Amino acid sequence: MEALKKTLFILSVVAVTSYTLRHTYLKWIEPRGSLLDKYEKPIVSEIKNATSLEQLENLFVEAHAKVLAYDSVDSIKAMNAYQRTELEPYKIEQEAREAIMSWEQQSHEIFKIRFYWAFGLLLAIIGFVVYKKVNSWLGITVLITGFAEMVYWTSPSFFYGAEFEYNHLLTNKIILSILTLALLIVGGFLTNTLKTGDE
């Protein structure tokens, strides 16, 4: 059992440490700007710089009202759907809709990360108690399951979106990654995985 504990401990620490470094890089070091940013349409900048879902909703409502006004014009009604989507209010409405969907997706991701990480923590605590008081194999199994949940949910996300909400997502992942790393080390000591001396 000692070899299994040590192997899983090392793999978990390596994974969480690399995730934490990646999240830190993405949040504070990775260049996000472009020379072409100054040539963007104002609406694109407004979407990128939105700090709340309400700001995005206001942009969408404004664009949607213009789309409804355009839809009542006979010459625009006569256009095929593709031609209409190339007109400015339709483009702005679509960009605002996509930004809202991206924001909501990241908000759901943050909720799932917190929920499953907390569930993993609960399993790790239960596993530790079972390990110490009931059965070491059953306890280590539940403990590993708990830490596996925590490690998995702090792993990198592979999508970007609304800048503000993406930063919020990264902040959550950094904090939970550091907590997971600390708990892995504490768990390693409490289960004698990191015991010193002759082994």
Show pLDDT as tens, one digit a residue, over the chain (199 residues): 788 888 989 999 999 999 899 999 988 998 877 888 788 888 888 888 899 999 999 999 999 999 999 888 888 878 888 888 888 889 999 999 999 999 999 899 999 999 999 999 999 999 999 999 999 999 999 999 999 999 999 888 766 666 788 888 899 999 999 999 999 999 999 888 888 755 4
In the prediction, which pLDDT does 71 show? 85
159 is a domain residue: yes
167 is a domain residue: yes
Q: What is the pTM of this model?
A: 0.81
In the prediction, which pLDDT does 81 show? 82
- Measured in degrees and rounded to the nearest 5, phi and psi for residue 157 equal -95, 145
196 is a domain residue: no
Secondary structure element (H or E) that encloses residue 108, with its range: helix 88-133
197 is a domain residue: no
Q: How far, in Å, are 12, 141, 190, 197 from residue 4 at the CA level?
A: 12, 11, 16, 19
Domain carrying residue 23: 2-190
**Amino acid making up residue 183:** L
Domain count for the chain: 1
14 is a domain residue: yes
122 is a domain residue: yes
- Measured in degrees and rounded to the nearest 5, phi and psi for residue 133 equal -110, -25
112 is a domain residue: yes
In the prediction, which pLDDT does 122 show? 97
Tokens found for residue 80: 């095929």
In the prediction, which pLDDT does 199 show? 47
37 is a domain residue: yes
In the prediction, which pLDDT does 159 show? 63
